[in-house]
Amino acid sequence: MGVIKWNEIENVSSNLLVKQKKQEYMVHDRLFKELIGVFFEEFLEAFFSDVHAQIDFQKITPLSEEIFADLYDGNKKVLDLVVEVKWKDTDSVIVIHVEPQSTKQVDFQQRMFRYFSLLYNKLGKPIIPIAVFSYEEAWEENEFTMRFADLKVLHFHYLTLHIKKRNWRLFMKKEHPISAALMSKMGYSEAEKVQVKLEFFKILTRLQLDMEKRDFLIGFFESYLKLNEAEEEIFVKEAKRLDNADEIMELPISYVEKGKALGRAEGREEQKREFALSLLKDGFSVEKVTELTKLSAREVEKVRDLQ
């Protein structure tokens, strides 16, 4: 029987951790890609107003991923979000490439140049490249330069949005669905989390979006800004004090309200158990889960023991 060495175990653990982190990054990048894709015009209006002012939004064409099926940069299939638009001044077709980036990579500017080169070679049209950084680190390079001594061969520049550097308070009065959702990733303190969520839901009531878009924004927001049990209770209490409390309380805003809705429903025991499991995983006590789901303490304990 072979002997497993400790360093081999460490290597396996390290590989699993790297794989898990890579999967997490892919999930984050996909969420951002979908958010920007659904609210593309609003994205440019909120964060790149000069570009937005020059685009004819009656003529926008998202390019399907099949077009870029043969484009690789050595790490992944490119590109994340590519849209053809009409430039107002010249009436010419240009391409906007948006690349969400959820983790710091010190060679990112080189990757952006490779993406630009591959895309230009494929389409042969003018390109505006945009990088969206959603990580904690302050790293935010926006250019790639190639030089030899005093000879500058190449200077490539791209637009950037570093979400964490944005102050959420500057967006709380704006009527933009995408900036409202991205408040969940902006710079706020732990003490401000409840207020950030309150302002997000206040914006939602003003926007009057259809249910599908509304629920998508809520799902995105709550993927990043998570409140614990005590914070959720404060949130509900503060929401009920607002002038438009009835509108806000109609939205799926908290574990408390979801629990009450499930408790009123008849014949949905399986849904109750699934909800109880999610609450337990989030650290809620058996007593609190019993109160919210209307399951018995014994049933909640069974759900807990099956985890």
Q: Does residue 9 lie in a domain region?
A: no
* Better-scored residue on pLDDT, 84 or 24: 84
Q: What is residue 265's predicted lDDT score, i.e. its pLDDT?
A: 47
**pLDDT tens-digit readout, 229-257:** 888 888 888 888 888 888 877 776 544 45
Nearest Cα residue to 126 out of 181, 163, 85, 157: 85
Q: What is residue 211's predicted lDDT score, i.e. its pLDDT?
A: 85
The answer to whether residues 29 and 127 belong to one domain is yes
* Alpha carbons 306 and 302: distance in angstroms, whole number: 6
| 281 three-state secondary structure | helix
**pLDDT tens-digit readout, 124-138:** 999 999 999 998 898
The answer to whether residues 196 and 155 belong to one domain is no
pTM beyond 0.85, yes or no: no
The answer to whether residues 196 and 147 belong to one domain is no
Instruction: Using the Cα atoms of residue 236, residue 237, residue 238 and residue 242 in order, give the sign of their dihedral.
Output: positive
pLDDT exceeds cutoff 70 at 283: yes
Task: Specify the number of domains making up the chain.
Answer: 2
Give me 129's structure tokens. Answer: 């490249």
The answer to whether residues 94 and 53 belong to one domain is yes
* Alpha carbons 275 and 257: distance in angstroms, whole number: 12
The answer to whether residues 234 and 297 belong to one domain is yes
Q: What is residue 262's predicted lDDT score, i.e. its pLDDT?
A: 47
pLDDT exceeds cutoff 50 at 140: yes
Q: Does residue 60 lie in a domain region?
A: yes
Q: What is residue 156's predicted lDDT score, i.e. its pLDDT?
A: 95
Tell the residue number behind the tokens 């959603």, with chain if given.
134
- Residue-number span of the structural domain to which 142 is assigned: 24-165
DSSP string, 168-237: GGGTTTS--HHHHHHGGGSB--GGGHHHHHHHHHHHHHHH---HHHHHHHHHHHHHH----HHHHHHHHH
| 146 three-state secondary structure | strand
Q: Could you say which DSSP state residue 107 is in?
A: T
- For residue 11, the one-letter residue type is N
The answer to whether residues 158 and 209 belong to one domain is no
* Better-scored residue on pLDDT, 48 or 118: 48
Q: What is residue 270's predicted lDDT score, i.e. its pLDDT?
A: 72
pLDDT exceeds cutoff 80 at 167: yes
The answer to whether residues 58 and 138 belong to one domain is yes
Q: What is residue 70's predicted lDDT score, i.e. its pLDDT?
A: 63
Q: What is residue 12's predicted lDDT score, i.e. its pLDDT?
A: 43
What are the angstrom distances between the C-alpha of 116 and each of 23, 73, 124, 185? Answer: 25, 11, 11, 27
The answer to whether residues 208 and 81 belong to one domain is no
Omega of the bond prior to 79 within 30 degrees of 0, cis?
Answer: yes
- pLDDT bin (cut points 50, 70, 90) of residue 2 is very low
The answer to whether residues 161 and 195 belong to one domain is no
Total residues belonging to the chain: 307
The answer to whether residues 158 and 201 belong to one domain is no
* Alpha carbons 62 and 11: distance in angstroms, whole number: 42
Crossing angle for the helix pair 286-293 and 297-305, to the nearest 10 degrees: 120
Q: Does residue 194 lie in a domain region?
A: yes
Q: Does residue 156 lie in a domain region?
A: yes
The answer to whether residues 137 and 217 belong to one domain is no
